[in-house]
Amino acid sequence: MARIAVTRPEGREGALLDGLRAAGHDAVHVPLVALEPLGDDPVDVGGYDWIVVTSVTGARELRRRMRGTPARVAAIGRATAEAFGRVDLVPERSTQEGLLAALPPAPGRVLFAGAENARRLLPETLGADVVALYRTVELTPTEWPVCDLVVLASPSAARSLSRVDRLTPVVSIGPETTRAAHAAGLSVAAEAATSDLDSLLEAVERAVAAS
């Protein structure tokens, strides 16, 4: 059994905590980021050949504000696809690079719907329109628990963790989070193969077994 800190935003931690506890671990929730919606104005998806969503929060916010019916939707990661509903494309690699490789060579007019500070690789490569639906706010907790592992689900969480703990090894949800963790001076014990819950739990078990 390991003591594991879960750093997901408030309201997004439940399934991961349940999975870790079911596996016999002592899981504690200390959010390192908060998610803030950016308004309620309608988002017209008409006229676009592809809509791209890159996170669960972006998918939920787009569904909430969307007007019209999207022609085709691409989502990064199975959890993002499930949060949106019907999607046409989920790349094998849960990154913007993976989605770029999976999209058709000439995708037409594209709308990129995501966080205010999301990477711009995909929209810049495709000349896509961008709508920012929410912002990610980095948090610095006043108290940090003694633990064996920290689970990080975003680059923002990696940066936040580096301000309170650089010694505890981390489990990363994917390559972008891993890169941010390394840049922040953190030790990455394992990286999830894909950005879904089962893969993240499997990565935790690999890290625990190696410790």
Residue 48 structure tokens:
């676009």
Q: Mean pLDDT for each 10-residue chunk of the chain (211 residues)?
A: 95 92 97 95 96 94 96 93 94 90 94 92 95 95 95 95 96 94 97 90 95 83
Strand 149-152 and strand 66-67: pairing?
Answer: unpaired
Contact between 80 and 54 under an 8 Å Cβ cutoff? The reply is: yes
Distance CA 187, CA 173 (A): 14
- Position 89 scores a pLDDT of 96
Q: Give the three-class secondary structure for 53.
A: strand
Q: Give the three-class secondary structure for 100.
A: helix
Distance CA 193, CA 199 (A): 6
Strand 43-44 and strand 66-67: pairing?
Answer: parallel
Strand blocks (E) in 30-183: 33-37, 43-44, 50-53, 66-67, 73-75, 110-115, 129-138, 149-152, 170-172
Look-up of token digits 């739990």: 201
- Position 34 scores a pLDDT of 95
- Position 4 scores a pLDDT of 98
Residue 164 structure tokens:
């309170």
Q: Give the three-class secondary structure for 87.
A: coil
Q: Give the three-class secondary structure for 26.
A: strand
- Position 92 scores a pLDDT of 87
Contact between 76 and 97 under an 8 Å Cβ cutoff? The reply is: no
Burial class (CB in 10 A: 0-12, 13-18, 19+), 48: buried
- Rounded to two decimals, the pTM is 0.83
